[in-house]
Amino acid sequence: MTSTDTKADYTAEEIKAYEAYLSALAEHNITCARVGATTKQKMDAAFAADRALKHFCEVAGHTPHSTRSPEDIRTIERMTAAMQNLADGARSAWAMVRAAYYMDVIDTLPEGCDPADHSVFVRLLRDAVLLLDSSLAKADAE
């Protein structure tokens, strides 16, 4: 969040909710630091702090874990488009590699080609197909 996104004047209700959150957070820290505190006591204090934070965010008009700035939204849109371009490029590469692989010309050892080199080439091409298959399956799942 940039300094231009912050408000200069806070309402009394916002200040009260923020102070309640700080108090609940301090209580949580004290509870967790106390020798002999049970897990239940620690969790109760954690949930109380979480409720106070949610209340503060509600009063302040902010949804927790959401983007508020237009710059953040543009960044997310740009990154989403870049990921789509990468997925599209992978799909094109996948189609090309599969087409080359299934032309049945690579299974024939060209004259003058070292058999070991040809075997490595075929294995690399098969591995590329598997890698692209896996990558595209992940991209399709998202």
In a domain, 94, yes or no: yes
The pLDDT tens digits of the residues spanning 73-99 come to 888 899 989 888 888 888 888 888 888
Give pTM, 2 decimals: 0.43
In a domain, 21, yes or no: yes
Same domain, 134 and 91: yes
Distance CA 30, CA 119 (A): 66
> How many domains does the chain contain in total?
2
The CA distances from residue 25 to 22, 53, 77, in Å, are: 5, 9, 35
CB atoms within 10 A of CB 93: 15
Same domain, 54 and 74: no
pLDDT band at 67 (very low <50, low <70, confident <90, very high): low
| CB of 71 closer than 8 Å to CB of 2 | yes
Domain with 29, as residue range(s), is 10-60
The CA distances from residue 109 to 12, 24, 97, 126, 127, in Å, are: 81, 74, 18, 16, 19
Same domain, 20 and 81: no
